[in-house]
Homo-oligomer: A and B are copies of this chain.
Amino acid sequence: MGVRTISSEEIRPDQPSAANAVADHLARMILNTMSPGALLPSEAELAERYEVSRLTIREAVKLLAGRGLVELARGRRAMVREPDGSAFADFLTSVLHNDSKGLFDLVEVRMSLEVQSATLAAKRASRAGIAAIESALQGMRDAESAQDEGAEDRFHNFDVGFHEAIALASGNRVLGYLFEAMAAPLRQGIQISRRGHAGRGHTLADTIAAHERILDAIREGNARKAGDAMRFHLKDTESDIRTALSSFAGNPV
């Protein structure tokens, strides 16, 4: 390569394009003054307001849509979206897809965050928060005793809901977002890995019992016990996942 003599390439103009400027301005406006569900002004009006063409407005709005700030639909004005972890979920999914090492990493981090969620939930959960956890658990019980097709899917959904309810009951919004962000790639990764690898090491009843221990600890307000119960449960789950995943180790797609 040789020695770098000049250093004028250091400048990153950060694209001061009109569309970008408008997008940034709109983003600030949305975050500061608008609530989820609110509608942006029409493209024509924005074009007039910013004194640019409608095309520039469109591109700016597309930028925001890519960032997950607004939702677009033909014939309707752009709507401000409820913030959620989906942007990061997309990111994780794309970075980790067909990469079993990445999924191990995800499982590892999830363990830590969920233990923290359970610990905090035991300390802080409101009556409503506990009710939500109970409700998810009851859903699992119902799905277990049901025999119809789709019962297992329902079981899994309530399972995820149980964990999500705990994340929410922690009272820590960041934990909620992170849970959401990790749930999608995890589920997808696990689903992929399970193909042709049906057996689970545990019965549904075992899973329910483990969840009951967690819920009881949270109900008691026993933070340490809740964290331990969650850790124990996830350790178990983790090994299931690992065996499922390992059939793909070094087998990217």
**Chain A residues packing against B (C-beta within 8 Å):** 13, 15, 17, 19, 23, 27, 31, 55, 58-59, 62-69, 72-74, 83, 85, 87-88, 90-92, 94-97, 102, 105-106, 108-109, 112-113, 116, 120, 172-175, 177-178, 181
Contacts and interface: CB of A to CB of B under 8 A. Distances in A.
A109 B113 contact: yes
Nearest to A109: B174
Given A59-B62, A66-B64, A95-B83, A106 B73 contact: no
A63 B175 CA distance: 27
Contacts of A19: 62
A15 B123 CA distance: 43
How would you classify the secondary structure of chain A's contact residues: helix, strand, loop or mixed? helix
A105 B175 CA distance: 8
B95 A177 contact: yes
Nearest to A175: B109
Contacts of A65: 63, 66
Given A63-B62, A66-B66, A83-B91, A106 B174 contact: yes
Nearest to A84: B91
Contact of A109 (B63, B97, B105, B116): B116
Contacts of A105: 172-175
